[in-house]
Amino acid sequence: MPSTLLSLFFQIADRRRGQGKMYPLAPILLFTVLAMLAGARSYRQVHAFIEAHLDRLNSAFGLSLRRAPAYTSLRFILHGLDAAQMELVFRDHAAGLVEGAGLPAAVAIDGKTLRGSFDAFHDRRAAHVLSAFAADGQIILALLAVTQKSNEIPAAQDMIATLGLTGRLFTLDAMHCQKNI
């Protein structure tokens, strides 16, 4: 049985100093995710969601937050998170939701350029992301932003090494026909 999202958020290290910590990290992360699923797109909207639903959220998850954190507190808390650790937590949770989600037999790796993400005024190229998809479990194993000064080939090599899936079949575009993959 998969763990609850709240219990997975308790696995994330809270890098804030102990002094003045008014809000526990895990409930704030859960409430932020719920607010975003409800359409919140800014810190103020997340704050408004938590404030409007605080009693219901407390009773649903067995918590006892007295008040919603200010939007500035939310910003401070969320900016201090380790993105890699958050990705692992979400990936573990999603893998538990997929029936029979063990090690994938085949992994498809593909890169995509995000439409409309270029900035001609600041001379920035369009954003490019690389994803690893487990076809049998129908789940994204990893998502990586390719840096401006790199390309998809070394990013894919790093992704394969990071995933640590030895003995698995990887499918990639023809441009990845390299000797060292």
pLDDT tens-digit map of 3-22? 577 888 898 888 888 777 88
More confident residue, 54 or 155: 54
Of the listed ranges 121-125, 155-159, 169-173, the one predicted with least confidence: 121-125
Side-chain half-sphere exposure of 151, counting CA atoms within 13 A: 3
Band (pLDDT 50/70/90 cuts) for residue 173 is confident
Q: Tell me how far apart the alpha carbons of residues 67 and 58 are, in angstroms, rounded to a whole number.
A: 10
pLDDT at 72: 94
Q: What is the pLDDT of residues 44-56, one digit of tens each?
A: 999 999 999 999 9
Q: Tell me how far apart the alpha carbons of residues 71 and 69 are, in angstroms, rounded to a whole number.
A: 6
Model pTM score: 0.64
Q: Tell me how far apart the alpha carbons of residues 155 and 166 are, in angstroms, rounded to a whole number.
A: 18
pLDDT at 3: 58
Mean of the per-residue pLDDT values for the chain? 83
Q: What is the pLDDT of residues 75-95, one digit of tens each?
A: 999 988 888 888 777 777 766
At residue 1, does pLDDT exceed 50? no
Structure tokens at 41: 């797109």
More confident residue, 100 or 110: 110
Q: Tell me how far apart the alpha carbons of residues 81 and 85 are, in angstroms, rounded to a whole number.
A: 8
